[in-house]
Amino acid sequence: MTDLNQPISGNDLARFSGPNTFMRLPPVDTLAGLDVAVLGIPMDIGTSWRSGTRFGPKQIRSESAMIRPYNMATKAAPFDSLQIADIGDLAINTFSLADSLRIIKESYDAILAQGVTPVAMGGDHSITLPILRAVAAKHGPVALVHVDAHADVNDEMFGEKETHGTVFRRAYEEGLIVPDKTFQIGIRGSGYAASDFTEAAGWGFRQFPAWELWQQNLTEIGSQIRKTIGDHPVYITYDIDSLDPAYAPGTGTPEIGGLTPPQALQLIHALGGVNVVGCDLVEVSPPYDPTGNTALTAANLLFELLCILPGVTSR
């Protein structure tokens, strides 16, 4: 364990000090030797309502300084067995969504070529399409756990095929995901027609609207999902707006009646053991939450995702 990166301890350096990396892990410039790369994809030009997610990675890193390396609830200790580092931000083109998506795809190809598991901090949800393209190129069509207020299965928005609202239709059409191992959890809100949800159900997607989950413990649903996925490689994409805006006001398209953090944690805990090949946490918009609690929540969810990566041990 002595060779593995460890977060700076709050007992060694005051938490308000140190590098602004995820959990104050070492910043690195190379993928060599890494098992897991935490990275930022700071972008908001794929969003349709409030912008601001370009500052998401920065604030998530800032708030992550509070997190210690051991998971008291699950006993997972991700830094005991995996080499994890913060590789910084992708150099996206902030003036072109199309070009940025291309850059993400190529960057992920490079990461995956090294056998490194990518854990991304968004950015708006449009980043997940090029990520899935790279992931599927590496692993074949993947199972998908998609936690979100929105199904993001529009065909187009303002004539554009690739935005934060069209990701999973594209992923389905392009065969990047396994439809009957695709789970959409927390979707809700208003729409244009029943088909906004039912069409994806017709493709095989399993949907768990928020209203069926209210006041429920999500452990059981998480366990069922885990069993259905089995050993298949799985990608987890976590939109912070899956949570109720009370818990995550700092986001671009909030919808009332969302999940609670206990539900979010129950779900991730229950997924422990699936074969995660990558994950992301998207749509944190700092200008809409100066308290930083949205980013704090995001940082914690990312830590919980680290805790269920393959190879993580507990003590």
* Residue 201 is a binding residue for a copy of itself (CB under 8 A): no
Rounded Cα distance, 242 and 239, in Å: 6
Task: Give whole-number Cα distances, 142 to 12, 132, 242, 309, in Å.
Answer: 41, 8, 21, 15
Helix (H, G, I), strand (E, B) or coil at 269: helix
Nearer CB in complex with a copy of itself: 224/293: 293
Task: Report the site for a copy of itself in 79-138 (rule: CB under 8 A).
Answer: 88-98
Q: Which stretch binds a copy of itself (CB under 8 A): 7-15, 173-181, 226-234, 270-278?
A: 7-15
Query: Least distance in Å: CB of 126 to a copy of itself?
Result: 8
Q: How many residues bind a copy of itself (CB under 8 A)?
A: 100
**Site map (CB under 8 A) of a copy of itself, residues 225-264, x = contact:** -------------------xxxx-xx--xxxxx---xx--
Out of 70, 105, 199, 203, which residue is the one contacting a copy of itself (CB under 8 A)?
70
Closest among 118, 152, 176, 146 to 48, alpha carbons compared: 152
**Site map (CB under 8 A) of a copy of itself, residues 133-162, x = contact:** ------------------------xxxx-x
Task: Report the site for a copy of itself in 19-58 (rule: CB under 8 A).
Answer: 19-20, 27, 40, 42, 44-52, 54-55, 57-58
Q: CA-based angle 313:264:38, to the nearest 5?
A: 55
Contacts of 46 (CB under 8 A, 6+ apart): 97, 124, 125, 126, 127, 162, 163, 164
Nearer CB in complex with a copy of itself: 219/228: 219
Rounded Cα distance, 240 and 59, in Å: 14
